[in-house]
Amino acid sequence: MLTKKQNLYSVVGKKVNRVDALEKIDGSARYVDDLAFEDMLFAKMVCSAIPSGRIKKIDKSRALKLKGVAAVLTAADITGLNKIGCVVDDQPLLADKIVRFAGEPIAIVAAETREAAEEAAGLVDIEYEPLEAVLNVDDSFCEKVKVHPKGNTVCHYKVRKGGDIDEAFSKSFKVYEKTFTINYQEHLYLETQGCLALVENEGITVHGSFQCPFYVQGAVATAVGLPLSKVRVIQSVVGGGFGGKEDVPSEYAAKAALLAFVLKRPVKLILDRAQDLMVSSKRHPMKMEYKVGVTKKGKINALKVRALADSGAYTTLSTVVLFRTSVHFGGPYVIPNVCGDVIGLYTNRVPCGAYRGFGTPQVIYAMESMINIICNDMGFDPFEFRKNNALKKGALSINSHKIKESCGLIETIDKARKESDYDKRKKEFDRWNADESKRTLKGLGVSSIFYGMNLGAKGWFFDKAGSHIQICRDGSVTLCVGNVEMGQGAKTVLAQIAAEALGCQVGDINFTNVDTNIVPDSGPTVASRTTVMSGNALLDAANKLRKKLMNAAVEVLKLKVNQIMAKHGKFYNIKDSHQFVTFADLAKKCYFDNVSLSDMGYYVSPKVEYDMQNGQGEPYYVYSYATAVSEVEVDKKTGEVHVNKMTCAHDVGRVINPMLASAQIEGGVAQGVGYAIMENMVSEKGHIKTLGLSTYVIPTTRDFAEVKSVFVEDKSKDGPYGAKGLGEPSLMPVVASVVNAISNAAGCQFDHVPVLPERVWEALNEKKMRDDESEVR
């Protein structure tokens, strides 16, 4: 049933079609590779062939002799500074003297055609002196070989809560220990990284596929040596990001801009798929040692975690990603005694950074696996156990954050159980599995998560957003925000928020793509923050404009403000809907009355207090919550797994658009399923071997899973109309629940992700041998 308040909303909470659907469907949307400029050159990067070594010589002569080659630039040719690090200054734009991973860019070529650029890149001769490479976290940790002179530790986050941890374990009824490992995940946005730079008005303009136009602006200014005001970044349509286009595009944009600046010609740099797979950032592989103590009644009383993350050759975003790991490794549970260490380590492998979930799906997998083990061993019901330990209003998280509002975790657990028909399915599956003649085994798995909204304590100084709204005199509206549409549906949801606040129709709204010349720096499009941040920034501007429209309506309708309601492009008499004035007429009136209908909005994320030493305080201001239930089917003969169904219950505060919200969840499920059972990045001696889509395999329609999305709407007081974020939570519980389902089907807990068929097959055989032996006895 709708509450009275919900009823008042005209577009928020409604199934509004995507505002950018048609142009994407009929192929007219312009992605960066669809843009072309007169006299444009094509660029290609020359990348290191070895994971670690000294560059002894770079010989450009063969490349420069090739027809159509305009330039080959190396570190020596950089007009600004040779640095690209987004958080820590440890990474060069082009490797200078030392290379630290196979694929690290050393030179950049520009030529008249794509083909010539590609060929020339192969003709740049580089002589190396190979050095010993650090290829895993254990070697990195013992620091026999140092990746950087300062040592191998990128960051080390500690969480210390409660009393002495060993004493706490001694009071546990049972203690469980296990080590888990998890591989890379590649974003595999369908559009590879790309940008186009040109010289304009004595500065540089960059078009491209970005999540963070303001990061790109900074990187280009640094590399070329220009003030920020001379660098303009204009967002193209983005073919998927998932975190992969957060900091990474800055690297390519700075290179293209450098070429454009030196050659005074437009330069396009589009990565081919193989190079994109080789050089762009990934989700951190981790090794996670878990120890969990449980009381007789099924309360978790102690948790000790040591997580080692492979950050790769440079810090990039590791320090912020792993901060989030340190908040989420204990899950959304109340645990009185916690001792956690999350350590990021340099290796001579590809740098790892942001990926949907931001350092959390790995530890969620480990923590939720521990809970699965505990429930199976002690005979607890997986939902009851989670509820029994769940965060709720008034409770403390592992960081001792006292939850004050908007916490629908327990409702998500209840809803997930009910909507997945868990109890009935469990009985059916038990019967199915008992039948030896069946070719498959079936399993159910559960996982719960929470997710801290926005950038939190580690990134508060970035956590702002701006907007600009202009109402034209015919009543059409132009919006500009600083966060980007990358497929998630931001434009649509933000148009709904603006339309609701202004009283116009969604169809009246036109979105200008992000342009750093128009809106103030709005921080990155990450952390599932766009709805909340840009939404609030729009509300700020819209409320100012609405006041002016309302004043005009008061004059026209001869009513008081509280007697007028605005929706769907009309300002009505609350008591008599036939008495109204249209939005367009009000806009016209304001125009001729010389009342400006153009305004800026600004929003800053709520400030939080956090003690980084002990990991205690408020890491984020509020959290989204979710519980997922997976149904899987395992082939006994081949070990192949198919995920048949996922039920996902999400508390994301107010749902602005239920259709887009379920679309996000379905996409997150597919990415999580891929991560759990098939996406296996193979790296040998520091070289990634899976450089195509036939070797790095992602889900196709053949892996189709039915997805049921349900919502718990515990409104957040700081969100626009009570909204929280969903982009990342959609993926976060998936891996853990799928692996738990496979583990429950196979009768053993899998300690490595992805769970490939060969491993499942082995596990089934081992179990059969064990069962046979015990029968003999």
Rule CB under 8 A: which residues touch other proteins?
17-18, 20-31, 33-34, 66-69, 111, 113, 115-116, 118-120, 122, 187-192, 237-242, 272-273, 486-489, 659-660, 663, 666-671, 692-694, 698-702, 704-707
Minimal distance, residue 658 CB to other proteins, in Å: 10
Contact 141, 152 (CB under 8 A): yes
Check the CA dihedral 512-514-515-519 and report its sign: positive
Query: For ligand FES, which is the closer residue by CB, 280 or 318?
Result: 280
- Residue 369: contacted member of ligand FES, other proteins, none (CB under 5 to 8 Å, by partner type): none
Minimal distance, residue 643 CB to other proteins, in Å: 11
Query: For ligand FES, which is the closer residue by CB, 78 or 663?
Result: 663
List 218, 344, 487, 725, residue binding ligand FES (CB under 6 A): 487
- Residue 26: contacted member of other proteins, ligand FES, none (CB under 5 to 8 Å, by partner type): other proteins
Contact 253, 193 (CB under 8 A): no
Minimal distance, residue 665 CB to other proteins, in Å: 8
- Residue 31: contacted member of ligand FES, other proteins, none (CB under 5 to 8 Å, by partner type): other proteins
Write out the H or E segment, with its range, that includes residue 59: strand 53-59
Check the CA dihedral 718-719-722-725 and report its sign: negative
Looking at the DSSP bridge assignments, the partners of residue 234 are 207, 515
Looking at the DSSP bridge assignments, the partners of residue 360 are none
Residue 666 engages ligand FES in binding (rule: CB under 6 A): no
Minimal distance, residue 701 CB to ligand FES, in Å: 12
Residue 702: both structure tokens together: 């053949």
Distances in Å between the Cα of 679 and the Cα atoms of 179, 695, 697 are 21, 9, 5
Minimal distance, residue 523 CB to other proteins, in Å: 21
The Cα 566–Cα 556 span in angstroms is 14
Q: With 0-12 CB in 10 A as exposed, 13-18 as middle and 19+ as buried, what is 575? A: exposed
Residue 240 engages ligand FES in binding (rule: CB under 6 A): yes
The letter for the amino acid at 670 is: A
Contact 288, 254 (CB under 8 A): no
Query: For ligand FES, which is the closer residue by CB, 187 or 654?
Result: 187
Contact 480, 468 (CB under 8 A): yes
- Residue 115: contacted member of other proteins, ligand FES, none (CB under 5 to 8 Å, by partner type): other proteins
> What residue number has its CB nearest to ligand FES?
190
Backbone angles phi, psi at 130, to 5 degrees: -65, 145
Going by C-alpha positions, the residue among 221, 246, 214, 238 that lies closest to residue 317 is 246
Minimal distance, residue 697 CB to other proteins, in Å: 10
Minimal distance, residue 25 CB to ligand FES, in Å: 10
- E strand spans, 266-336: 267-270, 286-294, 300-312
Q: Which residues contact 85 (CB under 8 A, 6 or more apart)?
A: 91, 314, 315, 316
* Site of tokens 């957003």: 465
- Residue 68: contacted member of ligand FES, other proteins, none (CB under 5 to 8 Å, by partner type): other proteins
List 8, 22, 25, 190, residue binding ligand FES (CB under 6 A): 190
Query: For ligand FES, which is the closer residue by CB, 487 or 615?
Result: 487
Minimal distance, residue 708 CB to other proteins, in Å: 10
The Cα 231–Cα 206 span in angstroms is 8
Query: For other proteins, which is the closer residue by CB, 159 or 655?
Result: 655
Contact 636, 768 (CB under 8 A): no
Query: For ligand FES, which is the closer residue by CB, 51 or 487?
Result: 487
Query: For ligand FES, which is the closer residue by CB, 353 or 487?
Result: 487
Minimal distance, residue 210 CB to ligand FES, in Å: 16
- Residue 111: contacted member of ligand FES, other proteins, none (CB under 5 to 8 Å, by partner type): other proteins
Minimal distance, residue 22 CB to other proteins, in Å: 6
Query: For ligand FES, which is the closer residue by CB, 190 or 769?
Result: 190
Query: For ligand FES, which is the closer residue by CB, 225 or 692?
Result: 692
- Residue 699: contacted member of other proteins, ligand FES, none (CB under 5 to 8 Å, by partner type): other proteins
Q: How many CB atoms lie within 10 A of CB 62?
A: 14
- Residue 379: contacted member of ligand FES, other proteins, none (CB under 5 to 8 Å, by partner type): none
- Residue 700: contacted member of ligand FES, other proteins, none (CB under 5 to 8 Å, by partner type): other proteins
Query: For ligand FES, which is the closer residue by CB, 366 or 705?
Result: 705
Q: How far does CA 757 lie from the centroid of its chain?
A: 27
DSSP code at position 75: G
- Residue 96: contacted member of other proteins, ligand FES, none (CB under 5 to 8 Å, by partner type): none
Q: With 0-12 CB in 10 A as exposed, 13-18 as middle and 19+ as buried, what is 170? A: exposed
Residue 235 three-state SS: strand
Query: For ligand FES, which is the closer residue by CB, 487 or 672?
Result: 487
Residue 747 engages ligand FES in binding (rule: CB under 6 A): no
Query: For other proteins, which is the closer residue by CB, 340 or 667?
Result: 667
- Residue 613: contacted member of ligand FES, other proteins, none (CB under 5 to 8 Å, by partner type): none
Contact 602, 466 (CB under 8 A): yes
Query: For ligand FES, which is the closer residue by CB, 192 or 496?
Result: 192
Contact 298, 380 (CB under 8 A): yes
- Residue 167: contacted member of ligand FES, other proteins, none (CB under 5 to 8 Å, by partner type): none
Minimal distance, residue 688 CB to ligand FES, in Å: 19
Backbone angles phi, psi at 193, to 5 degrees: -60, 140
Start-to-end Cα distance in the chain = 60
The Cα 344–Cα 353 span in angstroms is 11
Looking at the DSSP bridge assignments, the partners of residue 153 are 345
Give the pairing type, strands 464-471 and 477-481. Answer: antiparallel
Give the pairing type, strands 564-567 and 570-573. Answer: antiparallel
**Among residue numbers 115 through 134, which ones bind ligand FES (CB under 6 A)?**
none
Minimal distance, residue 437 CB to other proteins, in Å: 24
Q: Give the total of residues touching ligand FES (CB under 6 A).
A: 3
Residue 191: both structure tokens together: 């559009």
* Site of tokens 């010349």: 517
Residue 29 engages ligand FES in binding (rule: CB under 6 A): no
Minimal distance, residue 24 CB to ligand FES, in Å: 8
Minimal distance, residue 41 CB to other proteins, in Å: 13
Residue 674 engages ligand FES in binding (rule: CB under 6 A): no
Query: For other proteins, which is the closer residue by CB, 131 or 698?
Result: 698
Residue 223: both structure tokens together: 């590399």
Looking at the DSSP bridge assignments, the partners of residue 113 are none
Residue 490: both structure tokens together: 């931001």
Exposed e or buried b for every residue in 447-468, given b needs 16+ CB within 10 A? bbbbbbbbbbbbbbebbbbbbb
Minimal distance, residue 487 CB to other proteins, in Å: 3
Query: For other proteins, which is the closer residue by CB, 459 or 487?
Result: 487
Q: Contact residues for ligand FES (CB under 6 A)?
A: 190, 240, 487
